[in-house]
Every structure is written in structure tokens, then in C-alpha cells.
Amino acid sequence: MPHRRFFFIGAVALAIALGVGGSYWYLQYRANAAQEAVEQGDRLLGKGQMDEAARYYQQAIELDSDLTQAHSNLGATHAALERFDEAIPHFEQALALAPDHFEAQIGLAVSLDGLDRFLAAEDSYKKALALRPDFGAVYYNLGYLYQQQGLYAEAAAQYEEAVRLVPTFLQARANLGRVYHLQHRPGEAIAEYQRTLADHPDEGRVYAHLGESYMALSQYAEARAAYRRAVELGVETAGAFYDLGVISEQEGKLEAARSYFHQALLKNAAHADSYHRLGAVTAKLGQEQQAATYYLEAIKRDPGHAGAHYSLAQLYLKQGRSDEGQELMQVFAKLKEYEGRLASLKRAASRSPRSPEASYNLGLLHLEFGYVNKAAAVFEQLLKLHPEFSAAQERLAEIERVRAAHSAG
């Protein structure tokens, strides 16, 4: 009996030892397998095989749910495939496990940005910069977020820091020039574009923007040279051909101007300005009936085109079509009132770009003159910065109700 008792005690002790040791080795096996799955996922990710990589990262998480890198990398694969809703929970889990995980923080910011969640994306980018204040690409991303929201001064500050950290950062330099231009600072824009082209001399898009800034200063020879270089490099935009047409018209080269306006319309058939100037040039060439057709096309593309209404009105009055001409002049007067008030409100909004009231008043003006889509866009943009602004919510809801009723009818 004592021997049997001894054997029983020994068996229990052995079972306990095996249980503890087995658990340790099993956990170690899972941890190793999880790490191997992450490494395989990384190899596939490096080859651009996103879905395959995601399966390995998911396998790693199933083996070890606390593996920060697996969550972060799985989020990255979803984000790379623009599955931002699926990416966010994994980035958030990675940050819950490791709050200072930079890759997860920037991944979260990019995903929130991709979902148009401005305030959350802004906060996440700033947290990423707190972790890595020397990372130029994050400043660029934050700058682009601000640029898309119309916060040009804030965008410029971020692009400037990106360029300071990475002087040859092409897109940061190009966008910095662009936001200078959008702030009505064409001279600074030109200087930035020229610095960009010194490092990247074959960037046609930069030449096109350079031409636009020269046009803002009425430096036509320089604008022409920039646009022609852009076209040589394969960047052919409606705006570039339109401005080349304007320059030719200024110089009295009407046939050349007409050709450029036609080229602009080949690039963008909805370019109302090109139809308007085409009408003006055609009228100068004595082809009034054709000119009227072009003016009508401009108005068809843009019913709010004040210049086309005025030009057509003057042509009708010249032809003795007084009633039609006077009617068009009344429309023109209304459109000029809108343009004047719009310019004033835009100046107010540019002075206080985060002010909800300034943006709201801009939206109300669009509504007053019947530009419902423009109003909706302003209210939607406003609510990204101020989601609690109830007046904009109400206006937008009203617009949606009208749209729904119109669709149903």
C-alpha cells in the first residue's frame, strides 16, 4: 500500500509538472508561430500581395491577440487596399497595446483621412508628429488634409516644414507653390515652382501651375513659355490651352486664339470659359451668328456665367433684338450681384477659415441664388470642421429632403 501511495503521489506530481511545462511550451509554440506568420505576411506585403499578407497577419492575431505588429500590419494591408473601415479597428488595437507605435498612429491617421473624418484625422496626424517630429511625410499628409479643406495658410505651414526636412520633396514643394497661389500670393508661388523645377526639371504639372501663377501677374510671355513646356512634357490641360488662347487674343492673334480655345474644349467639353472666349474671338472675326452659338453653349455649361450673358446680350442688342438683349442684361445684373457678394464672403472666410459662421453665410448666399449643389458642398465642408453646427445640419437636411422629393417626383 505505501508503494501504491507513493506511485499515486508521484503520478500527480508528474501530471502537474507536465501540465505546467506543457502550457509553457504550448504558449511558446503559439508565440513563435504567430511571429513566423507576421514575418511571412511582411514578405508578401513587400511583394505587394496585400490579400495574401492580410491572411497571415490575421493568422498571427488568432495565435496571439496581443501581437501589436500583427494588428498594425493587418491595418496597413487594409488601408493600402482602401478598406479604411476595416483598417481602423486594427490600428486602434495596436495603439491600445502600444500607445507609442508610430506606424499604427500614422496608419490610423491615413485611414481616418481616407474616410473624410477631418477632425479625427487631424488629431491622429498630430499625435504621429509628436512621436516622430522629424518625419517629413507626415507634415505633407497633414498639409494635404488642410489643403483639401481650404485651410491654405495651415497647409502652407505644414508643407514648409516638410520641405525644410526633405528639401527635394517634389510633391510637398509643388503643393506649397499651389497653396501660395490659392492664397493669392503668385510671386511666392512662382519662386517655389522654380525651386521645384531646379530639382525636377521634367515635371510638366509644375510648369502648368507655374504658367497659371504667371497669368495671375499678367506676365504673358513667361506664362506662354511655362505652358508650352508643360505641353511638351505631355501635360495638356484645358486651363493651359485656355490661357494660351487668352494670351493670343490679347496679342490680336485671333485665329491662334480660336485654335487654342478649341483645344481646351477637346480636353474639357464642359469648359464654359473657353466657349465664352471662343464666342468673343469669333465675333471679332465678324461671324456673329456662330459667336452667339458659342455664347449659348457657355451658358448651357454654366448658367451662372456672367460674362457669357453679357456678351450675348450685347450681341443681341447690336442686332436689334432688344427684348432678348434686355432680358439677358437683367440676368447679367443679378449674376454680377451674386459675384460681388460672393467675393466679399470669400474674403471673410479666407480671413477666418475655421469660422463656421463665415462658411455658413457663404452657403446661404448660394442657396439664395439657387445654387443648391454649391450650398450643399459648403455645408458638408463646414460640418467636417464643426459637426455640431446645427444650422448647417438643418440646411443640409432640408436640401436632402428637396432632392429626395424631386427624385421621387
> In which residue are the cell numbers 513667361 written?
222
The string of pLDDT tens digits covering residues 33-49 is: 778 877 887 888 888 88
> Which class is domain 354-409?
mainly alpha
Core vs surface per residue 273-299: b (16+ CB within 10 A) or e: bbbbbbbbbbbeeeeeeebbbbbebbb
Residues 6+ apart with CB under 8 A from 361: 345, 348
| pLDDT at residue 59, rounded to an integer | 83
| pLDDT at residue 66, rounded to an integer | 86
Candidates 129, 136, 133, 81; CA nearest to 109 is: 129
Considering Cα of 50, then 55, then 56, then 62, what sign does the dihedral take?
positive
State the chain's mean pLDDT as an integer.
91
Q: Kindly calculate the radius of gyration of the chain based on its CA atoms and give it in whole angstroms.
A: 31
| pLDDT at residue 280, rounded to an integer | 97
pTM (predicted TM-score): 0.86
Give CA 111 to chain center in angstroms: 14
Q: Which residues of the chain have pLDDT under 70?
A: 1-30, 409
Which set of grid coordinates corresponds to residue 146?
A: 488642410
**Cα distance between residue 349 and residue 184, in whole Å:** 14
| pLDDT at residue 10, rounded to an integer | 42
Which of these CATH numbers, 3.30.390.50, 3.40.50.720, 1.25.40.10, 1.20.58.100, describes 21-133?
A: 1.25.40.10
Name the segment(s) of the chain with CATH classification 1.25.40.10: 21-133
Residue type, 250: Q
The string of pLDDT tens digits covering residues 57-73 is: 888 888 888 889 888 98
**Cα distance between residue 276 and residue 26, in whole Å:** 77
Residue type, 302: D
| pLDDT at residue 30, rounded to an integer | 67
The string of pLDDT tens digits covering residues 181-200 is: 999 999 999 999 999 999 99
Q: Is 210 exposed, middle or buried (0-12, 13-18, 19+ CB in 10 A)?
A: buried
| pLDDT at residue 22, rounded to an integer | 52
Rounded alpha-carbon distances, angstroms, from residue 240 to 105, 255, 274? 40, 17, 11
**Cα distance between residue 352 and residue 150, in whole Å:** 11
Q: Any idea what the Cα angle at residue 11 is, between residues 6 and 15, rounded to 5°?
A: 150
| pLDDT at residue 127, rounded to an integer | 97
